[in-house]
Amino acid sequence: MSASITVLDYGCGAGQIVTALRNKGIDARGCDVFIRGGLFKSRSTRVAWGVIKHMEHGVIPFPDESFDYVVNNQVMEHVEDIDSVLTEIYRVLKPGGQVLSMFPDKSCCREGHCGIPFLHWFPKSSKGRIYYAAFLRALGMGYFKGDKSILQWSRDFCQWLDRWTWYRSYREICTVFDKRFVRLTHIEEQWLQIRYGRWAMIIGWLPRQIRRWVLRKLAGMVFISIKAI
């Protein structure tokens, strides 16, 4: 195991990213609360080894300045107090270390958890949102349909969104990241190329700024921020 690079996956779930990095010889660790939105995330056997640790009371269970990189993948839209989360990430990151963040801001057109576009644009506890989601569900949209009725599916997902998601404007996100980190750099295009390879060429003919706008509206943001030395 290489000791030259240390990586923390914040909100690692069952540890897929941690496992992939460790298979490449990188000293990767993870932390999570393991229960999110009423769904139990299976505890990997790596928990017993200290590779993946259980987070309590919002505290990352690793010492100060432990990591060269911190990854958070589709996590920040589930964080109510993002300021305290970034305080903890800042604490465990080495000076000059980088944070790779992947999550949607409020302007993203697609609500990725349930597959209903614009659903997260409605105010929390909005009754209109329930009927809007039910209408699109009746047209065949939506994920995890199971055997629920259309209206029950809609009610349950809207309740889940109310309880477990906090979508923020891009300005709000930049403000809270800028309090602790420097040089926020968007890399959506690089992420698309790495993940989808030749399929990324589908929008490759578009001007750069338009490509970035399309990616952010349909998939979410991917950006790097740095802890000052």
How many Å separate Cα 184 from the centre of its chain? 16
What digits encode the pLDDT tens for the residues 205-221? Answer: 777 777 778 888 888 99
Residue 13 is predicted with a pLDDT of: 86
CA distance 185 to 171: 14
> What's the confidence (pLDDT) of residue 194?
74
Q: Report the pLDDT value the prediction gives residue 228, as an integer from 0 to 100.
A: 94
Q: Identify the pLDDT of residue 173.
A: 97
pLDDT for the residue numbered 193: 74
Closest CA to 66 of 100, 44, 90: 90
The answer to whether 101 and 213 are in contact (CB under 8 A) is no
* Confidence band of 41 (pLDDT split at 50, 70, 90): very low
Q: What is the mean pLDDT of residues 24-47?
A: 67
Beta strand 52-54 pairing with 221-226: unpaired
Q: What is the pTM of this model?
A: 0.87
What is the model's pLDDT at position 39?
A: 37
Q: What is the pLDDT of residues 97-147, one digit of tens each?
A: 999 999 999 999 989 999 999 999 999 999 999 999 999 999 999 988 888
Report the alpha-carbon angle 228-178-229, nearest 5.
0
Question: 214 to each of 27, 117, 199, how far by Cα in Å?
Answer: 34, 14, 15
**Model confidence band, residue 42 (pLDDT cutoffs 50, 70, 90):** very low
Give me the pLDDT at residue 217, please.
Answer: 87
Q: Side chain identity at 108, as an amino acid letter?
A: C
Instruction: Give residue 1's pLDDT.
Output: 46
Query: Average per-residue pLDDT in the chain?
Result: 88
Residue 55's CB: how many other CB atoms inside 10 A? 18
Q: Which tokens hold the place of 138?
A: 């009746």
* pLDDT tens sequence across 146-177: 889 999 999 999 999 999 999 999 999 999 99
Round to whole Å and give the CA distance between 35 and 48: 17
Number of neighbours of residue 38 by Cβ within 10 angstroms: 8
Cα–Cα distance for residue pair 79/65, rounded to 1 Å: 22
pLDDT at 107: 95
Lowest-confidence region among 2-16, 192-206, 208-222 = 192-206
Handedness of CA 142, 144, 148, 153 (dihedral sign): negative
Helices (H), 42-117: 46-49, 82-92
Q: Name residues whose C-beta falls within 8 Å of residue 67's C-beta, 6 or more positions apart in sequence.
A: 6, 7, 8, 29, 92, 93, 94, 97
Contact 69, 27 (CB under 8 A): no
Higher pLDDT, 170 or 192: 170
User: Once rounded to an integer, what is the mean pLDDT over residues 79-105?
Assistant: 97
